[in-house]
A and B are shown apart, each in its own frame.
Chain A
Amino acid sequence: MNVLYDGSFEGFLTLVYDVYYEALNPTSIMKNEPKELLFEPLHVVFTDETKAHKVLLALQKKFSKEHYQRIFHTFLCDSISFEMELLAFIVLGFKEQKTLENITIPAVFKLQSMENELLRLTHKMYGFTRFEELEDGMLYAKIETKFNVLPFLGEHFCKRLGNHAFIIHDVKRSLAFIKDETTKHIKEVASFETPLLSQNETHVRELWKTFFTHVAIENRRNEKLQKSLVPLLYRTYMSEFLA
């Protein structure tokens, strides 16, 4: 049976509820209405907060902290489809917690690998994110990433930027982590005007670029290695690679 849900976390939890209480047996799970005619029947999941909440409580009770977290982390890997595997993972977990360590089961292995990839990407972005100082002293960073790492980056930079207000703007997802004197939260941003930079900004960026060029050793030049360590994909907003 084909199942359609709205792509939200609550939607997915409702789907899990329906699997148990309406004996739903999905063969594929979709986020968007299919364009072609399907041979199999299509079941539409209507997101329901009560159902979702019940499932969430059950997950919390039954799953270890590590596995419970993996479910959330999977949802951050939003650029690949994971729904069938995540459902299998949850069903396995409700049956027998121990099997969630069994990486010879493809769904379990996929989720564990995805989580590793997410955390590796997060670690890369801890280094590759670049802030610019705005007119009012606020720090502003733009990012574009394969997975949604904004929650991790937000927490990371709250710890290191002290009292500085900052924004990390996930351009593709239209999300922003905003931290100012009173609050920190993730917000959807529809449009964002290019902000004015502080007077000092260009000067500091030039200093950084000078440092970046001069600290390289010409006799050891190896751009292939450089490219494998900072793939072009990451360079879009990294000041040292901008003209």
Chain B
Amino acid sequence: MKVSIQDKIAILAESAKYDVSCSSSGSEHNYKTGELGNTHKSGICHTFTSDGRCVSLLKVLLSNICIYDCAYCINRTSNDIVRTAFTPRELADLTINFYKRNYIEGLFLSSGIIKDEDHTMELLLQTLRILRHEYRFNGYIHVKLIPGSSKELIHEATLLANRVSSNIELPSSKSLALLAPQKSKESLLSPLKHARNITLERHQKPISMSTQMIIGATGESDFEILKLSSSLYQKALLKRVYYSAYIPVNSHKDLPSPLHVKPPLQREHRLYQADWLLRFYGFSYDEIVDENENLDIQFDPKTHWALRHLEHFPIDINTAPLYTLIRIPGIGVRGAQKILQARRFKSLSFEDLKQLKIPLKRARYFIVAGKNYQKEVPLYEEKLKIALIHHGHNIIQPTLFDTSVYTGEF
């Protein structure tokens, strides 16, 4: 039976959608006159799907045929789903047609393992070669390196791609052994190490790399997860770690049941916030979360940290350096920069901060601005928590329909 392109794109987008990575950032402009395609330093989102996720790249699998049997994966070999594959030419043409119309920023090139690792990597490479050499396409290409494929193939892919990645999948070796017995942490990370060495040898900037972990399929705590991310960032191996709330697609004795598990979206959200603190706010993982604990669900990680370190507060926004300003809950890098710019000219008050459109909803409890500081809520963890939850209002708010406690009347 011949499957139409229309059906293929439906099936292979379904198969790829659980991979979260979609960013197109980190590559400098690289256009050449007369050729198609360019990249943008900060990446570009082209649309957002009904689940609120950004579409930047054409994210499909080359094929959803897979010899592996990973318990969490929709494409595992023992699943009874429709299998199909693009030819490298079909996928390359699709990319060009979408790119020309500005639907996408480029291609996310990945695949199930069709016959063996090298065969699959070779097919991915063919697609890459058509795009780069034949079509002279300079847009963004993210290539999933197939763990276990030969070094020469990884070498070539690394030189042609803007970003390469290999998913760690699960945050510990134990969980991997349980759910993806054909994979190991070493086999998953080795292509990345190899790719980095290749670019470093050529005296280039190391190629940007990312990975993904599934959250909530196994028992690891946020502490373990962030510790792992932080070590990957520190070794400068990775640019991004993605966290993917586990969505049950299979029934398996070692996995949460699909019937009564909701994807842990709030936890995923908190992990991204914490990840941000690691990468841009100078926090270390053990500041954000206690050993073997999870992140607080009620408060974002920065507020949570502040509440437990009130000895650093209140912070004087007229004297504090940048790295201290960005530790104030509710003040981000942009807000902090505005403060730095404005305070060269005058000592800032609460009113000035409002004029600068810096939100004080949370920050007000943690700062001193000249003579201004808030007096309503004392600097105690419990009091602050209540104030933060109720946005500073009195907790008992008499309403029109309150009955009098004394008479029972309105």
**Complex alpha-carbon distance, A231 and B344, angstroms:** 37
Known: A126-B44, A161-B36, A207-B5. A133 touches B101 (CB 8 A): yes
Q: Determine the chain A residues whose CB is within 8 A of the CB of B193 once the complex forms.
A: none
Interface segment out of the listed A47-55, A71-79, A188-196, A217-225: A217-225
Q: Does B216 contact A (CB under 8 A)?
A: no
A183 at the interface (CB under 8 A from B): no
The answer to whether A104 and B36 have CB atoms under 8 Å apart is no
- Set of chain B residues within 8 Å of A164, measured between Cβ atoms: 36, 100
**How far in angstroms is the closest Cβ of chain A from B8?**
9
Whether a CB of chain A sits under 8 angstroms from the CB of B345 is yes
How many A residues touch B, CB cutoff 8 Å? 52
Binds B, one of A9-17, A38-46, A208-216: A208-216
Q: How many A-B residue pairs have CB under 8 A?
A: 154
CB distance from B249 to the nearest CB of A (A): 9
Q: Does B276 contact A (CB under 8 A)?
A: no
- Closest-by-CB residue of B relative to A139 is B100
Within 8 A of A (CB), among B32-53: 33-38, 40, 42, 44-53
Bound state CA distance, A181 and B355, in angstroms?
A: 49
In the complex, whether B233 has a CB less than 8 A from a CB of chain A is no
Which residue of chain A lies nearest to B60 when distances are taken between CB atoms in the complex? A211
Q: Name B265's closest neighbour in chain A (CB-CB).
A: A220
Q: A141-B102, A220-B265, A226-B52 are in contact. Are A104 and B9 (CB under 8 A)?
A: no
A95 proximity list for chain B (CB < 8 A): none
Complexed CA–CA distance, A211 and B37 (Å): 21
Closest residue of chain B to A234 (Cβ to Cβ) is: B47
A162 lies within 8 A of chain B by Cβ:
yes
Query: Are A214 and B47 touching (Cβ within 8 A)?
Result: no
A131: chain B residues within 8 A (beta carbon): 100-102
Instruction: Verify A163–B34 contact, CB threshold 8 A.
Output: yes
Decide: A104 and B352 in contact? CB cutoff 8 A: yes
* B contact face: mostly helix, strand, loop, or mixed: loop
> Does B54 sit at the interface, judged by CB under 8 A?
yes
Interface residues contributed by chain B, number (CB under 8 Å): 61
- The reply on B55 being an interface residue by CB < 8 A is yes
Shortest C-beta distance, B146 to chain A (Å), equals 22
Contact, CB under 8 Å: A230 / B47 = yes
Is B36 a contact of A160 with CB atoms below 8 Å?
yes
Judge if A80 is at the interface, Cβ distance under 8 Å. no
For the A-B complex with A131-B102, A160-B139, A211-B10 known, give 14 more contacts whose Cβ atoms are closer than 8 Å: A101-B344, A103-B342, A127-B102, A129-B102, A139-B101, A161-B100, A204-B98, A214-B10, A215-B55, A221-B50, A225-B52, A229-B52, A239-B101, A240-B47
Binding site for A on B (CB under 8 A): 5-6, 9-10, 13-14, 16-18, 29, 31, 33-38, 40, 42, 44-56, 58-60, 94, 97-98, 100-103, 105, 136, 139, 245, 247, 262-263, 265, 338, 341-342, 344-346, 348, 352, 355-357
A-B CB proximity, top 7 nearest? A225-B52, A216-B49, A220-B51, A160-B38, A214-B13, A229-B48, A162-B36
